[in-house]
Structure 1
């Protein structure tokens, strides 16, 4: 699951395109299938969204929640691919993007009536 935060006036007009870019990166780096998109957008009022100095109103936070198992190099490749593709396709500078990867053990995920460590039919690999 991916949660994206930003100022609503900046985030709302680009939600579809940003979701497409994020998903393309997940497919390219992690091998996600086309139908594995779970994005949640949290557009916020400017007065509720504090961010570090030196950033513009385009400042966007992307939290990626996933089952543990990806190698450090794979996670770093995902972050760098996101920075590059978001800048290239949406014009948001890397200084205005914050990416956080949060990993949880497979047994801490619940979907389709079971926990992640019980699933044996995923269409992608976790240990990449």
Structure 2
């Protein structure tokens, strides 16, 4: 699951394209199928969204929650691809993008009535 935070006036006009970019990168770098798109977009009032000095109102936070198992090289490649694609397609400088990957063991995930370590029919690999 991916959670995206930003100032609503900046995030709302680009949220569909940003979601497409993120899903493209997840597919390319992790092999995640399109059908596994799970994005939560949280547009915020400017008064509720504080960001570091030197950033502007396009500052966007992307939190990627996933089961642990991906290699460091794979995760770094995903982060770099996101920076590149967002800069190219949305003209948002990497200085205004913050990406965090949060990993949890498979047994900490619950979906379709079971835990992640019980699922045997995933259409993608976790250990990439």
Which TM-score band (shorter chain)? over 0.9
Corresponding residue of 1:86? 86
Corresponding residue of 1:77: 77
Structure 2 residue 24 is the aligned partner of structure 1 residue 30: no
Separation of aligned partners in 2, 1:44 and 1:33: 29
Distance 2:26 2:77 in 1: 10
> Aligned Cα RMSD in Å?
0.4
TM-superposed CA distance for 1:34, in Å, is 1.4
Residue 109 of structure 2 corresponds to 109
Tell me the residue number matched to 1:42: 42
Q: Who is 1:99 aligned against?
A: 99
What is the aligned residue count?
128
Unaligned runs of 5+ in 2: none
Distance (whole Å) between structure 2 residues aligned to residue 109 and residue 47 of structure 1: 33
- Mapped to 2, the partners of 1:95 and 1:65 lie a distance apart of 22
CA deviations on 1:39-84 (whole Å, 9 max, x unpaired) are 0001000010000000010000000000000000000000000000
SS of 2:55 mapped into structure 1: coil
Residues 86-126 of structure 1 deviation map (CA, whole Å, 9 limit, x = unaligned)? 00011110000000000000000000010000001000000
* TM score, norm. by length of structure 1: 0.99
TM superposition outliers: structure 1 runs of 4+ over 2 Å: none
